[in-house]
Chains A and B, each alone.
Chain A
Amino acid sequence: MSVDSATVRRIAHLSRIAIEDSEVERLRGELNAILAFVETLSEVDVDGVEPLTSALPMQMKKRADVVTDGGIADEILANAPSREDHYFVVPKVIE
C-alpha cells in the first residue's frame, strides 16, 4: 500500500500537525518508504495467532477505588503556557 498526497494531508490533519504545501511531496516519499519497508509483514502467516497486547503475561493490578491524590491545582497549572486562576486558557472554542 502507498499513500497519495491527499492521504498525506488527511494524516497530517488527523495528527494535528500543520504542513506546508511544499512539504507534501517529500512527506509522501518518506511515508511510502516506511510503508514499503513494513510491507514484508504481509507475507507472514498469522492465521490463528493472537495479537500480543502485553509484553509479558501479567494481571492488571487493581486497588480500592479511593482518592489517593489531589489538591495540587497550582502544581498542575505551573507549566501552562496560558492560565487564569485555576483554569487553562485556550482560544475560544464555541462561537
Chain B
Amino acid sequence: MSDPTHLSLAEARDALTSKQLSAVELAQAHIDAISKSRALNCFITETPEFALAQARESDARIARGDARPLEGLPLGIKDLYCSKGVRTTAGSRILDDFTPTYESTVSANLLRDGAAMLGKLNLDEFAMGSSNETSAFGPVVSPWRRAADPDAKIVPGGSSGGSSSAVAARLCLGATATDTGGSIRQPAAFTGTVGIKPTYGRCSRWGIVAFASSLDQAGPITRTVRDAAIMLRSMAGHDPKDTTSVDAPVPDYEAAVGASVKGRRIGVPKEYRIDGMSAEIAALWDKGAAWLKDAGAEIVEISLPHTRYALPTYYIIAPAEASSNLARYDGVRYGRREQGRDVSEMYEKTRAAGFGPEVRRRIMIGTYVLSAGYYDAYYVRAQKVRSLIKRDFDEAFASGVDAVLTPATPSTAFAQGEKGSADPVEMYLNDVFTVTVNMAGLPGVAVPGGLAANGLPLGLQLIGKAFDEETLFSLAAAIERAAPKIELPQPWWREG
C-alpha cells in the first residue's frame, strides 16, 4: 500500500480490518513521519515503542478476529491528558518531570478501544493561548504557508496547536484536544481540520490537567467529520470519577454522518456580523449557509443579543477558575521546586520560575477578581452575564432552530509574533466566535470551508443543542461534501 499516513482514520480502520495493511506498518509509517517532521515541533514526547507494542497486540487481535472499535489506529494525545508512566507537562516548566501513575479517563477509553499512542502533543502552557506560542517547549508550526510569504512560520492555533498541526501534517490519524474557550475549534479552523467540542459533561475531565473546570471539555481533532465521530464515540461516556460527567448513553455518532439535513432549521445570528469583519469571512459564512440550504436545510436569522459580552465574561470566569485550579502547583507534591528560606518564599519562587508570562497574568487577574471587595463587581456579575448568554441560546433553540452557523474565527492563521506581543487582549479576540459555546456548555464543531486568498484555511462553526452532537455531525458532513477540497502545500517540513 502507498503511504498509509494519507488514509483517513476510517479508511485506515477498514484497511486493517480487511488485512490490506498491518497495524505495525501503520504505526511505523506514522513514527517515520514524526521523526522527519520535528521542524513543526508538534510533539513534546514521542512514544514510538509504546505505539509499536500496542500495534503488535492489535495485529494479534485482528488475526484472531477480536478487533476493538479503534484497533491499531495511531493517535496523538495532547500533553494535558495524564498518561500513565509517560511524562506529562501541560506545556509548562512547573510540572518538570511529572510522570503520572494513572491514565486520564478519556485516553484510557481510547486505549481500551484499541488505539495506539504515538506521543504527547505540544500545547499552549496550561492550555492558555490561541497560537501555541506560550508553550514552555517552544511554538508549534503549522504545515500551511501563505502563498505570497512562504517563509513566515504560521501558527497552528491554540491551545491544541500540536494536535491540529500533527493531524493536518499527517503525523497521526487523529488527536485528542481540549477546549475551554475555543482551543479545539480555533486550531482546527486554522489548519483545515475538523474539531468538535462536545457538550459539557459528555467527556470525563478526570486526569486532564484542569484550566477552568466549568468550561473545560475534551474532544478530537481529525481530518474528516467521520473520523471525529468515530473518535468521539470512544472518548465520551460516563465516569463516576468526574461528578460533572453525564450518565447517558453515547450514540453511534458515525451513523449521523451522511444523514439527511433536509428540513433542519439553521440559525444565523446577526450579532456575529461584528464590526470590521473581513469581506472574506463574511463571504465564507454566506457560502456555508448556501451549502446547507442546497442540502435541504432552512436558513433563518436569529438574535443572540449578549454575544459581545461573552469574551469579557470569559476573561473573568476562566482566570478566576484557573487561579484556583493552579494553586496546586506549590513545589510540594509534584513538579518543580525552587528553594526558599521558608515555605512562603518557596511557593513564590517556585511559581515565579515555573509559570510563563501568560499563565502568571491569568492567575493574577483571577486572584484579583476573586479578592475581597471585587468578587461581586467582577466575578458574580460575570456569572450573571453568563446566565444571559446561555439564555440567548436557550431562546434560539426554543424558537425551533436545530443548530447555529457562524464563522469559526475572525481571520485566517497569522505568523509567529504577529499578535498579542504588545496587548494580550489582541490575542484573546481570536476566540470571539467560539467562546460563547463554552459559556453555554453547548457542543460546537469547526469544519473546513475552503482557502482564503492568502492560501490559508478558513473554517465554519456549527453550534448545537446540549447533547445533540449527532445533528452537528450530519450538518458538518453536509458542509464537508459541499466545500472546495483543500490541499496541503508540498511537505516542506520533512527532512530526508
Listed in ascending order, the chain A residues whose CB lies under 8 Å from chain B are 1, 3, 7-8, 11-19, 27, 30-31, 33-35, 37-42, 44, 46, 49-56, 58, 60-61, 63, 72, 75-76, 78-82, 88, 90-93
> Least Cβ distance of A27 to chain B in Å?
7
Besides A58-B201, A81-B334, 6 more A-B contacts (Cβ < 8 Å) are A11-B364, A11-B367, A18-B348, A34-B365, A46-B381, A46-B388
Contacts of B331 in A (CB 8 A): 81
A/B pair count, beta carbons within 8 Å: 171
Report if B383 contacts A (CB, 8 A): yes
B342 touches A38 (CB 8 A): no
Interface residues of chain A: helix, strand, loop or mixed (majority): loop
Q: 10 A–B contact pairs at CB < 8 A?
A: A17-B360, A37-B312, A40-B308, A41-B316, A44-B384, A53-B214, A60-B243, A79-B334, A81-B337, A90-B332
Of the candidates A15, A18, A37, the one having the most CB atoms from chain B within 10 angstroms of its own CB is: A15
B368–A11 CB distance below 8 A:
yes
Q: A11-B364, A34-B425, A50-B387 are in contact. Are A75 and B101 (CB under 8 A)?
A: yes
A16→B327 CA distance, assembly (Å): 9
Name the contact of A17 in the complex, choosing from B363, B380, B441, B466 (C-beta under 8 A).
B363
Give the CA-CA distance A71 to B368 in the complex, in Å: 39
Q: A52-B390, A56-B199 are in contact. Are A31 and B214 (CB under 8 A)?
A: no
Contact of A51 among B346, B374, B383 (CB under 8 A): B383
Chain B 162-200 interface residues, beta-carbon cutoff 8 Å to A: 199-200
A53 to chain B: which residues have CB within 8 Å? 214, 383
Contact of B388 with A44 in the complex, beta carbons under 8 Å: yes
The docked-state distance in angstroms from the alpha carbon of A52 to that of B387 is: 5
Q: How far apart are B170's CB and chain A's nearest CB, in angstroms?
A: 34
- Which listed segment binds A: B29-37, B295-303, B349-357, B401-409? B349-357
Nearest residue (CB) in B for A19 is B352
**Contacts of A79 on B, CB cut-off 8 Å?**
97-99, 101, 333-335
Q: Which of A1, A51, A53 has the most CB of B within 10 A?
A: A51
Instruction: Confirm or deny: B260 has a beta carbon within 8 angstroms of a beta carbon on chain A.
Output: no
With A15-B351, A90-B346 already in contact, the answer to whether A41 and B382 are too (CB < 8 A) is yes
Task: Give B213's nearest chain A residue, CB to CB.
Answer: A55
Asked if residues A14 and B423 are in contact (CB atoms below 8 Å), the reply is no
A27 in contact with B361 given A37-B428, A55-B201 (CB within 8 Å): yes
Report B-chain residues with C-beta under 8 Å of the C-beta of A17: 348, 351-352, 355, 360, 363-364
A1 to B377, CA, bound (A): 10
The 8 closest A-B pairs by CB, nearest first: A55-B441, A51-B383, A79-B334, A81-B337, A18-B348, A46-B384, A18-B352, A55-B200
Q: Does B64 contact A (CB under 8 A)?
A: no
Closest to B355 in A: A17
Contact A16 B466, CB 8 Å, known A30-B424, A53-B383, A80-B334: no
- State which of B315, B323, B341, B382 has its C-beta within 8 Å of the C-beta of A37: B315
Bound form: Cα–Cα A75–B441 in Å: 34
Smallest CB gap from B341: residue in A: A91
Q: Is B13 an interface residue (CB 8 A)?
A: no
B425 touches A91 (CB 8 A): no
Check B368–A52 contact: CB distance below 8 A. no
Closest to A3 in B: B368
List A contacts of B383 (CB < 8 A): 51-53
Flag B74-85 by CB within 8 Å of A: 1 or 0 each: 000000000000
Bound-complex Cα distance A37 to B343 (A) = 36
The reply to whether A49 and B388 contact each other, CB–CB distance below 8 Å, is: yes
User: How near does chain B come to A7, taking the closest CB pair, in angstroms?
Assistant: 8
CB-based contact A40/B381 at 8 Å = no
- A41 engages B335 (CB within 8 Å): no
Q: Does B431 contact A (CB under 8 A)?
A: no
A52 to chain B, nearest CB (A): 4
Q: B442 to chain A: closest CB distance in Å?
A: 9
Say which residue of A8, A18, A88 sits within 8 Å of B333 (CB atoms).
Answer: A88
Residue of B342, B390, B424 near A91 (CB, 8 A) is: B342
Residues of B within 8 A of A76 (CB): 333
Residues of A within 8 A of B316 (CB): 38, 41
A27 to B355, CA, bound (A): 15
A81 CA / B360 CA spacing, docked (Å): 22
Of all chain A residues, the one with the shortest Cβ separation from B424 is A30
Contacts of B56 in A (CB 8 A): none
B363 touches A15 (CB 8 A): yes
Distance of B467 from chain A, by nearest CB (Å): 9
Give Cα A50 to B390, complex, Å. Answer: 12
B102, B312, B363: which contacts A40 (Cβ < 8 A)?
Answer: B312
Given contacts A17-B360, A18-B352, A30-B361, contact A41 B313 (CB under 8 A): yes
Q: Per a CB cutoff under 8 Å, which of B200, B334, B361, B374 touches A31?
A: B361
- Complex interface: chain B residues within 8 A of A51 (CB): 380, 383-384, 386-387
Hey, what's the 0/1 contact readout for B237-254 against A, CB within 8 Å counting as 1?
A: 000100110110000000
